[in-house]
Structure 1
């Protein structure tokens, strides 16, 4: 991948800088970016604002990355946007990458919709990511930092944090999520000070009832329900609420505590601790999670342990280059069963490759049984044939594998 912002700047200039005709909340981090974006966009929509949201990678199909007022953009508009951007790219001999064209297409769509806000998720890293071509965000947000994409961003948490912190801008407020590492938090705070970006460090919310959170910010007292499960949602939701509270205090939005509670409760984010029915394969319930790096697998394992089941039956697929050893070490227990699979090549993302099932199997040797499967159908059938009420069946390791499952479940028989 050829990183740098020259091409995306040229593309946005050719588009007439549509990114400067809306207010942007720019979100970077290792884990939690998607759900934080979803929370913020949902609450802004509940408050009556028109909102665009950009997330990558897409889940089911490429147009999913571009969302307007809670709906993925239509295929016709997606095609129109890409045709226009590709023509500008060709005419200007810009040489923009496919991801840079996707960012340009998103802003073409957002500009056409004349939106009040855009919630923009970083693709990879921060400093050199194509989304960082925006010059005047209303706010930036840094979610939890962990080891991922180390071959590109750096081999220490501090190096990765510095890359993510590259989205901070002078004079632009930044919300920093709770961090597991003091060194990471110190790195982010130092970068904010050096950049001249006013910052707030979010504090985790508390569960006062199952799926109901409480968070105090200065004199404000927020109580809000959430449907996304997992203890880490205390951090993700608090980060979003801290950002929304600050937007309100800056008078950039009007918001009541009731609107915030409604918007938080209405937030959905598929592929994160998502329970689905797959009766066709003899599975009453399947836990689906896109956990694809060590911090995400830690959170997934913590949630599974809370279920108090005897055994986990894993269906695992991973992107090539991920730290399979660390992931398997965190996830697998001696009584578990593992079915290793590949995922379908994602459309429009030729740089993404699936790990071979044999590579996964080599790192899952602590399990009671490990099998390489011919495909997802094979793995689901085998998992269904051995599962009992005392087991939990989990599909994880990559959002691309999650997408394969969702496509399978939504397709007609």
Structure 2
């Protein structure tokens, strides 16, 4: 176990609940740390049920292509915790991260605080103490009580599509969930809004009206669509941009790209020209979003002709987007390897994929206490119309799938599973 692993494990034990939505604990800790969150460069804040990570990655690539130094805070990580904190374009190194976490740990002095809260406080310290031009903050869960929602005056906010997710914490209807997500809207601060269900849009508009926040909504104030040349056409009033297609696959990534383009155009105080926007769309690096795996032990264990695709889809909205992307590829005999957290609607995630899947395997996500068991996931998959054979681990599942001679293997269900796959496939 590394020194970083040891302190992360220690911090996990500071609170009896993995998730306990409140801003009281982090506000107390931040005050004792000198309120680093109030000393940040201009902040962009994004929430949503689907696409906020990709939208953040697009915007970061665009801003960096324009020459800006960008901090970014995202979650979860795939392989290393350091992925969550990007300082001026580089992942935070172990020594700096350990020092910041130990500092937060000393100041917290053993009082109850969640893992996400104390690690977010460390990120704020890192961002305040490292020169940069812009900070991109992605909510972890919800919005109104998320640890990223302590910034009083962000430069810009954005809401990606909202749907049913985290019902145990945010509510069991789209409207209730939208109340939490829309909590990032701030008085007088513009908010870029992606396509939303009617119930969510009603909540967003009411929140914006209550605090006089301008909204720029997709298909009302701006639009994004495929262009005739295979690229993208973005339009806002008389402004039109002809852009390349994003390097991430899927129609849903066009939506995410459109939100990011609109954010780049409305980020007050920043000049992100069309050439930088185009470079960001082409140059984005965002693993586990319909990522093709062509090398490594997993690829070597499968027949040479097998296409392997890895995606972190983990809710019903993402399942629909993943199914649409899969359907856009040439039809092939496609098998599935799935692992899903027990806080997710596994049947809802898998149901859109059912017409495209010949069979597959279910596993418990290695190292995740909140994973569905392989058997429970197989039962949920059966409800969705997919027959999955429960397997004890990834290696056994891959061996079983190799015997089926699949033309295509889709690995999905969780970003935590995706991270484990990427780790194992080095």
TM-score (norm 2): 0.89
Q: Where do 5+ consecutive residues of structure 2 fail to align?
A: 1-18
1:338 and 1:279 map into 2 onto residues whose CA distance is 16
2:342 and 2:356 map into 1 onto residues whose CA distance is 25
Q: Indicate if the aligned counterparts of 1:40 and 1:240 stay in contact, CA closer than 8 A.
A: yes
Query: Which one of the candidate residues 150, 153, 166 is aligned to 1:136?
Result: 153
What residue in structure 1 maps to residue 4 of structure 2? none
What residue in structure 1 maps to residue 60 of structure 2? 41
Alignment partner of 1:401: what SS? Answer: helix
Q: Where do 5+ consecutive residues of structure 1 fail to align?
A: 347-351
1:94–1:275 CA distance, 2 compared to 1 (3 A): same
Give the root-mean-square deviation of aligned CA atoms: 1.8
Query: Which one of the candidate residues 6, 29, 33 is aligned to 1:15?
Result: 33
What residue in structure 1 maps to residue 133 of structure 2? 116
Deviations 1:245-285 (A, max 9, x none): 111xx3x1012111111122111211111111143112542
Alignment partner of 1:60: what SS? Answer: coil
1:171 and 1:73 map into 2 onto residues whose CA distance is 33
Alignment partner of 1:280: what SS? Answer: helix
Q: Indicate if the aligned counterparts of 1:211 and 1:229 stay in contact, CA closer than 8 A.
A: no
Query: Which one of the candidate residues 316, 329, 335 is aligned to 1:307?
Result: 329
Alignment partner of 1:125: what SS? Answer: coil
Query: Which one of the candidate residues 398, 401, 405 is aligned to 2:414?
Result: 398
Q: Indicate if the aligned counterparts of 2:191 and 2:214 stay in contact, CA closer than 8 A.
A: yes
Q: Indicate if the aligned counterparts of 2:82 and 2:94 stay in contact, CA closer than 8 A.
A: yes
Query: Which one of the candidate residues 262, 266, 270 is aligned to 2:283?
Result: 266
Query: 1:24 and 2:43 equivalent?
Result: yes
Stretch moving more, 333-342 or 132-141? 333-342
Query: 1:215 and 2:226 equivalent?
Result: no
Alignment partner of 1:11: what SS? Answer: helix
Deviations 1:34-69 (A, max 9, x none): 001111111111111111110111111211110123
Instruction: After TM superposition, give the deviation of residue 207 of structure 1 in Å.
Output: 1.6
Alignment partner of 2:78: what SS? Answer: coil
Q: What is the aligned residue count?
A: 397
Q: Indicate if the aligned counterparts of 2:30 and 2:121 stay in contact, CA closer than 8 A.
A: yes
Deviations 1:81-138 (A, max 9, x none): 1111111111xx6532211111111111112212211100001000011111111111
Q: Indicate if the aligned counterparts of 2:342 and 2:371 stay in contact, CA closer than 8 A.
A: yes
1:157 and 1:119 map into 2 onto residues whose CA distance is 25
What residue in structure 2 maps to residue 233 of structure 1? 253
Deviations 1:313-362 (A, max 9, x none): 0000000121122223222238611200111225xxxxx51100101111
Query: Which one of the candidate residues 84, 89, 96 is aligned to 2:108?
Result: 89
Stretch moving more, 277-286 or 257-266? 277-286
1:286–1:51 CA distance, 2 compared to 1 (3 A): same
Query: Which one of the candidate residues 207, 211, 216 is aligned to 1:195?
Result: 211
Instruction: After TM superposition, give the deviation of residue 216 of structure 1 in Å.
Output: 1.1
Instruction: After TM superposition, give the deviation of residue 369 of structure 1 in Å.
Output: 4.5
1:306–1:246 CA distance, 2 compared to 1 (3 A): same
